[in-house]
Amino acid sequence: MAILPIILAPDPVLKRRCLPVESIDRGIRRLMDDMLETMYDALGVGLAAPQIAVHKRIIVADVSDLASDGRAPLQMANPEIIGASDEILIREEGCLSFPEHYADVQRPASVRVRYLDHDNEIQEIDAEGLLSVCIQHEMDHLDGVVFVDHLTSLKRSIILRKMSKLKRAEATAGR
């Protein structure tokens, strides 16, 4: 497995809609495994393929308590929400493509998701709380939507300006 570089916003790569996965083959399984390793290394709870510059409809997540070393990874290809609660949850979100930036985002409190798993089997999962938020957040990435797109234009522009400044500083330091 490999740790892959995570794309930082703003970047047009993060705004592209991803293509469906035809089937889960050895290459897709390796990508899913690498995405999990990358997510764990970055101390995240979710990662979408476009965040590593792969435009396929793949997400990984693990909202288990990593402090207890009990992992519960999810690897999903072509996830689709087939049901959502009317109840709304407002929760602080962050993103590996927006390090050190957090904001409250409103989403359905629970969702039912259908997807292809690591073994190319169709699965369905009911998710609520943090897992629901994480899956919805990562699925947004597959459609070119980032969490700041859910914020007011003022909050979004402040975060994007700070991210642009960070990227310029990193580019200058890397020369």
Residues with catalytic function: 138
Residues 6 or more apart whose CB falls under 8 angstroms from that of 21 comprise 28, 56, 57, 58, 77, 78, 116
Task: From 122, 115, 127, select the one nearest 79 (Cα to Cα).
Answer: 115
Question: Does residue 68 contact residue 84 with C-beta atoms inside 8 Å?
Answer: no
Cα–Cα distance measured from residue 8 to residue 84, given in angstroms and rounded to the nearest whole number: 30
- The gap from C-alpha 85 to its chain's centroid, in whole angstroms, comes to 21
d(CA 168, CA 57): 29
Structure tokens at 61: 């997540």
Burial class from Cβ neighbours inside 10 Å (0-12, 13-18, 19+) for residue 79 reads buried
